[in-house]
Amino acid sequence: MADHLLTLNAGSSSVKFALFDRAALHDAPVFSGQLEGIGLGGGGAATHDAALADVMAQLKNRSLHINAVGHRIVHGGVNFTVPVRIDDNTVVRMADLVTLAPLHQPHNVAGVRAARLAFAGVPQVACFDTAFHAQQPELNRRFALPQELFDAGVRRYGFHGLSYESILAQLLADDPALAQKRVVIAHLGNGASMCAMHEGRSVATTMSFSPLDGLPMGTRCGRLDAAVVLHLIQQHGRSPDQVAELLFRGSGLLGLSNVSSDMRALEASTEKSAAMAIDYFVEYTLRELAGMVAALRGIDLLVFTGGIGENANHIRPRVVDGAAWLGPFEVRVLRSNEEAVIARHTAALT
């Protein structure tokens, strides 16, 4: 029986999984799937626990020999800057970062616990979305806050690193010279961010301390004046938990439109608020793009990826046309393959 390697990617509203033949990691997975719309109704799983149970049942029914499991973990904090083998202490330390990524980290950790229970004794590896950005210049990892806060971990981390690593690998394979130039990758989806890369390394990115910053997203507000948080607490009497719920789960495209967090539903809607939400998304995508280009002092290539980036054919031209003032640059649309990145890191550590 062939040895197989499993990858698990438990996101904010989906669970992706892929099974790779360990002897052929560069080939397509032998079995993969995705459960979407978790907790959103419309036929999706009601909870992440239910979705993970479904995935585990599908795998167990196939009588496979799984000898390693790799996981996407959104936040690595200060200490996790490379993929690591998972042990009990690792799980505790990853769980301690839940408050920094409340839409993802709880489900990431739940996936780790479920897999460790289902595949007892099988080595497992955590791959962190923040790790890709860990070597950015310190200037781009700082807030304008005192040194002691930076030392305590209050800094810009950046996210979607596995997606960016996947796109970089594709560029290096297809056009190595272009991959070394000034590249901006726009990962646009329910979660959205951009990364400015030069010489194949992350220089700057739009998300920062948490996955809340930067671009407007499905239910997250994106860039926000910090005084709004103080105002909501001090003047509106909202608790910190209520503010967190608003900013992470009740804002973004959903909050603007009061229709949906899904770009597909907004494009199909006749509500004026849906059109306004789309306009807002395009406008602030352009503003964040300008910031990434400033960090690179120019742009040679813009890559779209993610659910919106790959599939929203009406959004991309609006962004490209709106960025014409930046001068000529190449545009590509590439599908991110985070699972393949996780598989390679997991194989290297097991």
Q: Which residues are catalytic?
A: 129
Backbone angles phi, psi at 26, to 5 degrees: -85, -10
Amino acid identity for residue 184 in this structure: V
Amino acid identity for residue 294 in this structure: A
Whether the Cβ atoms of residue 263 and residue 188 lie closer than 8 Å to each other: no
Closest CA to 177 of 301, 296, 336: 301
Closest CA to 181 of 166, 164, 199: 199
> Which letter, b or e, does each residue of 234-251 get, where b requires 16 or more Cβ atoms within 10 Å of its Cβ?
eeeebeeeebbebbbbeb
Give the largest Cα separation in the chain, rounded: 64
Distances (CA, A) of 205 to 67, 137, 225, 227, 333: 35, 12, 18, 22, 19
Q: Is 309 exposed, middle or buried (0-12, 13-18, 19+ CB in 10 A)?
A: buried
Element (H, E) at 48: helix 48-60
What the block records as the tokens of 140 is 């781009």
Closest CA to 262 of 12, 45, 51, 54: 12
Amino acid identity for residue 140 in this structure: N
Q: Write the CB contacts of 91 (distance below 8 Å, at least 6 apart in sequence).
A: 109, 112, 113, 116
Q: Which residues pair with 196 in a beta bridge?
A: 184, 204
